[in-house]
Chain A
Amino acid sequence: MGVPFIAVRGLLHSDILKHRPDLLVNENPFNPGEPVVVAQPIRPDVAVFHAIKADRRGNAVTPGHRDDLMMARAARRVIVTAEEIVDGELTSRDAVDDTLLPAIDVDVVAHAPLGAHPCGFGSLYEHDDAHCREYMAAAQGGDSFRVYLERYVYGVGSHGEYLERVDAARQARG
């Protein structure tokens, strides 16, 4: 939308306002005496989306009815990872029941099969319960999280290598 601020309903007398400098209470200029919350725009430097498929120009299809387009437009730079890179050009006809991110709103596309792992991805694959549990245990604190990051993030050279380690852990679990 590109507006300097937007009015939102509700939120008045909530403690949220005490902790959010981007939400202010102002008087409704069209209804003097009425307090209304105004919100500062959120402009992320980068937004990342995982797509079912993308083409070489940057058009991408993300699953379901979501607010991806709004988020892509809010961000200054948009990265799309995709299960599949297709030939030709994707249009809204390829996004029936899904969302089309048009190339004009996308800066970078990368091919990343199973890129949503360990989350599930639409109807393509379920979330990896065992790996999520492993992550949650590691994230409890102490040294375990550093070990997790070393094994799955810093210690791998590519997404393929990450998936190999996930697979090895799965086999070790039996």
Chain B
Amino acid sequence: MAQTADYTPEELMAVVIAREVRDGETVGVGAVSPIPAAGCVLAEQLHAPHLTLIILDSEEYYPFPAGSSELHFLAQRGELDLFFLSGIQFDRRGNFNLHVIGDYNSPTVRMAGAYGSAMLYYMAHRVILFRAEHTRRIFVEQVDFVTGAGATPENVHREGGPALLVTPKAVLAWDRAAGEWVLDRVQPGSSLEDVRQNTGFELRVSPSVRMTSPPTAEELHTLRTVVKEKLARSYPDFVREKILPD
């Protein structure tokens, strides 16, 4: 268990995300999301060459004539297959928090806010949540502020919602009928016990829970060459610090 993996947590997450991207999909990535950006470009290189990839603030992956409103309107039309969101807290019921820690009027932490995420969480067909830290301060029983709700009543128009939650320790899958996360995969280097100890809510374990297959040599090679090069301009610090030399 203590052995050092020959890839970074961010590389593992990018590979896990890449495997979820299906060929031919229309996929959106936010402006400060290098992990899913790397995952999507990796998927495009390996198995999804017909991806329509939209990365906000990117020149290469931006198929629109105007600004970020284009991505939001596309999602409102129900034409966005997959989107990625992170947060400062997540809870069992699929709620995420991008706003404040503590009381709204005197918070200990105030973030920049939701931007379009409270719409995208409902209108993208699938949303993969991701966070490079898996601890009890982030995985809580109840988020301090619901930026986007995991479950909503039947009369709320919703094209989709949460699908997966990816961390360096686990992949949680959304159980739509139960309205809660279930442990679907344990990441290499972690264990069921490790995941439970670092999750601040009661985590149901899927009967088919398994270990994630570790990144393959081909996945890592492509990530560390083509993908790294394509992201270098938008995310110089990320590719230097989080993606290892080939």
Residues of A within 8 A of B (CB): 8-16, 19, 33-36, 64-70, 99
Contact = CB atoms under 8 A, between A and B. Distances in A.
Interface string B53-95: 0000001001011111100000110000000000000000000
Most chain A beta carbons < 10 A, residue from B118, B120, B155, B157: B118
A8 B122 CA distance: 11
Contacts of B121: 10
Contacts of B149: 12-14
Contact of A13 (B65, B66, B145, B152): B152
Q: How large is the interface on B (under 10, 10 to 19, 20 to 34, 35 or more residues)?
A: 20 to 34
Given A15-B99, A66-B67, A67-B69, 8 more contacts: A8-B119, A13-B156, A15-B145, A15-B146, A16-B114, A19-B104, A65-B62, A67-B68
A50 B59 CA distance: 19
24 contacts: A8-B76, A8-B119, A9-B76, A9-B119, A10-B123, A12-B152, A13-B146, A13-B149, A14-B114, A14-B118, A15-B99, A16-B118, A19-B104, A33-B155, A35-B156, A64-B59, A64-B67, A65-B62, A65-B64, A65-B67, A67-B66, A67-B68, A70-B66, A70-B69
Contacts of A65: 62, 64-67
B159 to A, nearest CB: 8
B30 interface: no
Most chain B beta carbons < 10 A, residue from A9, A10, A99: A10
B118 A11 contact: yes
Nearest to A7: B76
Interface of B: 59, 62, 64-69, 75-76, 99, 104, 114, 118-123, 145-149, 152-153, 155-157
B66 A10 contact: no
Contacts of B156: 12-13, 34-35
B64 A9 contact: no
B118 A10 contact: yes
A35 B158 CA distance: 11
A148 to B, nearest CB: 21
Contact of A10 (B64, B120, B146): B120
A11 B119 contact: yes
Nearest to B146: A15
Contact of B122 (A9, A15, A68, A69): A9
Given A33-B155, A34-B157, A35-B155, A10 B148 contact: yes
A99 to B, nearest CB: 8
Nearest to B144: A15
A33 B153 CA distance: 12
Contacts of B76: 8-9
Contact of A36 (B118, B146, B157): B157
Given A13-B146, A19-B104, A67-B69, A34 B118 contact: no
A13 B149 CA distance: 6
Contact of B148 (A14, A69, A99): A14
B67 A67 contact: yes
A39 to B, nearest CB: 11
A35 B122 CA distance: 14
Nearest to A18: B104
A66 B119 contact: no
Contacts of A64: 59, 67
Given A9-B123, A9-B157, A35-B156, A14 B66 contact: no
Nearest to A14: B118
Most chain B beta carbons < 10 A, residue from A9, A33, A36, A65: A9
Nearest to A12: B156
A123 B66 CA distance: 18
Contacts of A19: 104
Most chain A beta carbons < 10 A, residue from B62, B66, B104: B66
B14 to A, nearest CB: 26
Contacts of A99: 66
